[in-house]
């Protein structure tokens, strides 16, 4: 996913990248290694951030920062402060329904150029509907099948495989739609 | 926490609105990390930086000679870009606090990670 973002869309190298719900920082570390100017991870979980921090030290990465906070309460605090947002948001399956959409909304607010996000394929139609409502262009760039072994006590099956969709959203704001379209077209490498 | 990151952060305590920026920085432990100089990236960041907030933070950390504003033709001024590269990316606040300028709420920085978590009463609906 990160290679595609970097090679096809050129949204990582020299860019300011945000990773919402970064957890142990897998996406951020990847973005950092692909030459992000600065990658900032956001997560609520102190333990995950500690692991992330240790990995950054171990890999001697110099272009990573991280913040402990509740992404859902970021709302419009960081409007357009990042070039790119990458994320693997909580899918909102058990006790946090709707979290993936809250993350998406925040991400779209924070990103100047594009948001790359992983979602369960079963939510694809819902996301497409929301994207239209928010006047945002959405493109499905990959579909992956992921075999998840039973990790929690409430998982009844031994393993479950479910498809995940990676989407890219570019932000088209209302009246500026023509300018944005031109920018989008011009942005593509020759 | 780098100063470029500090420049992005604001407080979202309930009722603070847009007056939660910039966060007042206090540092008890700071480390300087060498970071590869990338003039293109730094030049691109210059117009995006909230300059007054950066100068304030740099002053608190007693960083020498941060210009009060970008010099004209900064894109080609390597001395200026290198200075800004150092200030924005190489200074790492490991321990300290960030304070909301409106509510006074303190957010601790520990091991380089600011903790911006709010309790329920402080969170905006």
Confidence of residue A66 (pLDDT cuts 50, 70, 90): very high
pLDDT of residue A185: 30
B96 lies in a domain? yes
How far apart are the CA of B95 and the nearest CA of chain A, in angstroms?
A: 13
B13 is a domain residue: yes
Q: State yes or no: pLDDT of A37 exceeds 50.
A: yes
Question: What pLDDT is attached to residue A173?
Answer: 31
Q: What is the pLDDT of residue A122?
A: 83
What's the Rg (C-alpha) of chain A?
Answer: 17
- Residue A68 phi/psi, 5-degree rounding, is -90, 120
For residues A55-65, give the mean pLDDT: 96
Helix (H) or strand (E) holding A119, with range, is strand A111-120
- Window 27-86 of A, Cβ < 8 Å to B: 37-38, 40, 44, 46, 49-50, 53, 62-63, 65-70, 73-75, 77-78, 81
Arithmetic mean of pLDDT, A107-124: 89
pLDDT confidence tier of residue A164, bands split at 50, 70 and 90: low
Contact between A15 and B44 (Cβ < 8 Å)? no
DSSP B86: I
Angle at alpha carbon of residue A12, lines to A11 and A14, rounded to 5°: 110
Residue B120 lies in a domain: no
The answer to whether residue B122 is domain-embedded is no
pLDDT given for residue B68 in this prediction: 84
Cross-chain Cβ contact B89/A68 below 8 Å:
no
> Does B83 map to a domain?
yes
A63 and B35 within 8 Å at the Cβ level: the answer is yes
- What is the percent of chain B with per-residue pLDDT over 90, rounded to a whole number? 80
Is residue A94 over pLDDT 80?
Answer: no
Buried b (16+ CB within 10 A) or exposed e, A35-67: ebbbbbbbbbeeebbeebbebbeeeebbbbbbb
> How far is C-alpha B109 from the geometric centre of its chain's CA atoms?
13
Model pLDDT, residue B97: 97
Q: Which comes out higher in pLDDT, residue B27 or A175?
A: B27
Which residues make beta-bridge pairs with A169? A115, A138
> 3-class SS at A59?
coil
A144 or B49, which is more confident? B49
Nearest CA-CA partner of B35 in A69, A36, A185? A36
Pick from A27-41, A164-178, B51-65, B70-84: least confident: A164-178
Q: Which domain holds residue B3?
A: 1-115
Confidence band of A186 (pLDDT split at 50, 70, 90): very low
Tokens of B21: 């920026």
Strand partners for A177: none
In a domain, B7, yes or no: yes
Q: Does any domain span residue B124?
A: no
Q: Could you tell me which residue, B125 or A34, shows the higher pLDDT?
A: A34
CATH number at residue B23: 2.20.25.10
Q: Looking at the whole model, is its pTM more than 0.80?
A: yes
- pLDDT tens digits along B45-73: 999 999 999 999 999 999 977 888 888 89
Kindly report the average pLDDT of chain A as a whole number.
Answer: 79
Domain presence at residue B108: yes
Instruction: Work out the minimum CA distance from B64 to partner chain A, whole angstroms.
Output: 22
**Domains: count for chain B:** 1
pLDDT of residue B88: 96
Q: What is the CA radius of gyration of chain B?
A: 15
Residue-wise pLDDT for A12-35, tens only, equals: 999 999 999 999 999 999 999 999
């Amino acid at each position: 996913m990160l290679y595609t973002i970097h090679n096809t869309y050129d949204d990582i190298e020299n860019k300011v990248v945000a990773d919402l719900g970064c957890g142990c920082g897998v996406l951020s570390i990847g973005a950092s290694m692909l030459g992000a100017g600065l990658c900032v991870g956001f997560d609520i979980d102190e333990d995950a951030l500690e692991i992330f921090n240790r990995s950054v030290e171990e890999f001697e990465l110099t272009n990573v920062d991280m913040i402990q906070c509740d992404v859902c309460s970021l709302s419009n605090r960081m409007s357009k402060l990042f070039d790119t947002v990458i994320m693997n948001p909580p899918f909102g399956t058990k006790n946090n329904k709707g979290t993936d959409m809250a993350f998406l909304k925040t991400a779209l607010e924070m990103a100047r150029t594009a948001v790359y996000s992983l979602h369960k394929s079963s939510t694809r139609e819902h996301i497409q509907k929301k994207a239209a409502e928010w006047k945002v262009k959405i493109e499905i760039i990959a579909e992956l099948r992921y075999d998840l072994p039973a990790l929690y006590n409430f998982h009844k099956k031994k393993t479950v495989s479910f498809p995940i969709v990676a989407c890219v959203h570019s932000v088209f704001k209302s009246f500026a739609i023509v300018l944005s379209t031109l920018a989008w077209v011009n942005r593509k490498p020759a | 926490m780098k100063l470029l990151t500090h420049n992005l952060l604001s407080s979202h305590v309930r009722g603070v609105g847009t007056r939660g920026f910039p966060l007042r920085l206090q540092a008890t432990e700071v480390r300087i990390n060498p970071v590869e100089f990338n003039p293109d990236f730094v030049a691109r960041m210059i117009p995006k930086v909230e300059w007054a907030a950066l100068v304030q933070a740099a002053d608190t950390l007693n960083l020498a000679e941060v210009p009060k504003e970008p010099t004209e033709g900064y894109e080609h001024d390597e001395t200026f870009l290198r200075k800004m590269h150092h200030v924005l990316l190489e200074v790492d606040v490991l321990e300290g606090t960030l304070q909301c300028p409106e509510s006074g709420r303190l957010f601790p920085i520990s091991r380089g990670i600011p903790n911006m978590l709010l309790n329920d009463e402080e969170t905006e609906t």
